[in-house]
Structure 1
C-alpha cells in the first residue's frame, strides 16, 4: 500500500505545482470553471437522487464502486485546488476503490470523478422518467465539455487521464 500512497502524493504534488504556476487571470478562470463543474455534478446527482439512487446503491452494496478504481483525474484534483476544498485521504488499504469510505464515497458528489458521477446502473436508470434519462445524458455531454475547458488551460495532454 505504501507504493500507492507514494504515487498518490507524487501525482498530487505534480498537479498542485502546475496549479500554483498559473497566472492570476488563468487561476480566476479555473476557479469559475471549477465552481461551475462542481455545481453541474451536484445537479446530476440530484437528478438521480429523485429516484432514491442511494437506496439502490446500498441495496447492492455499491457493486460499481467496489469494482471501480483510480478514476480520479488531474482535472478532478484541479477542481479541489481551485475551490479550496480540503482533499480527502484515499484508502489504499481497503482492497476496494480507494475513494470508498465507510459507509459511502469519500468524495462529495460535486467533486467525484467523471465515471463515478455519470454511471447509472439499470436499477437506477429504469426508475428515471424518459425525459430525465435524456436530460442526464445531455448533462453528461456538457460535463465532457467542462473537463475539456479545464484541460485547455494547461499545456496539451498535461492534465489528461487518471491521476494514478
Structure 2
C-alpha cells in the first residue's frame, strides 16, 4: 500500500468518525446542505456541458488535473456519507489526478471537489454567453458558502483543508 493510499484510508476513517459524532440536528443540517451542494454542482456541470466541456477536457488530456490529489476535502467526503453514495477508489499510480481514470473522472459531477467543478478554462468559458458566465459565478459563490457552512458544523476543524497532505 502506498503512502497516499494509507493517507486516503485514514482520512476516510477520520471523516466517517466525525460525521458519526454529529448531533441529530447537525446531521440533518449537514444532509440538507450536502443534497443542495450536489444539485448545485450538477447544475454547474449541465451549464458547461452545453458547450461540450467534456470534449475540451478530453482534448487536452486533463492538464488542469495533474495536481488533483489535494482537491478532495473532508467536506467532499461528507457529501458521500450524507447522501449514501458509494465512495470511489483513487488511482494513486496513474501519474495524473488520482481521481481521473482513462474514461474520465471517478466522481459524478455532483460529488466533485470545489476546484474541479468551478474551474473553467478559457476554451470553455469563452463559449458561454455572458449571462451564463454570470450565473455560473453566482452559483460558485453559493457553493463556496455551502462549504463554509458545512465546515462550521465540525467544531474541531476536522473538515478544514485538503484530505491528503504531504
TM-score bracket for the superposition, by shorter chain length: over 0.9
Report Cα offsets for 1:65-118 as digits up to 9, x if no partner: 234332000000000001011100000111111000121000110000000000
Distance 2:52 2:110 in 1: 17
SS at match of 2:70: coil
- TM normalised by structure 1 equals 0.96
Contact 1:66 1:100 in 2 (8 A): no
Which residue in the other structure is 2:132 paired with? 132
Which residue in the other structure is 1:41 paired with? 41
| Runs of 4+ residues deviating >6 angstroms | none
Structure 2 unaligned regions, length at least 5: none
Aligned residues: 164
SS at match of 1:97: coil
SS at match of 1:150: helix
The 5 A counterparts of 1:65-76 are: 65-76=65-76
Structure 1 unaligned regions, length at least 5: none
Q: Cα RMSD (Å) of the superposition? A: 1.1
- TM normalised by structure 2 equals 0.95
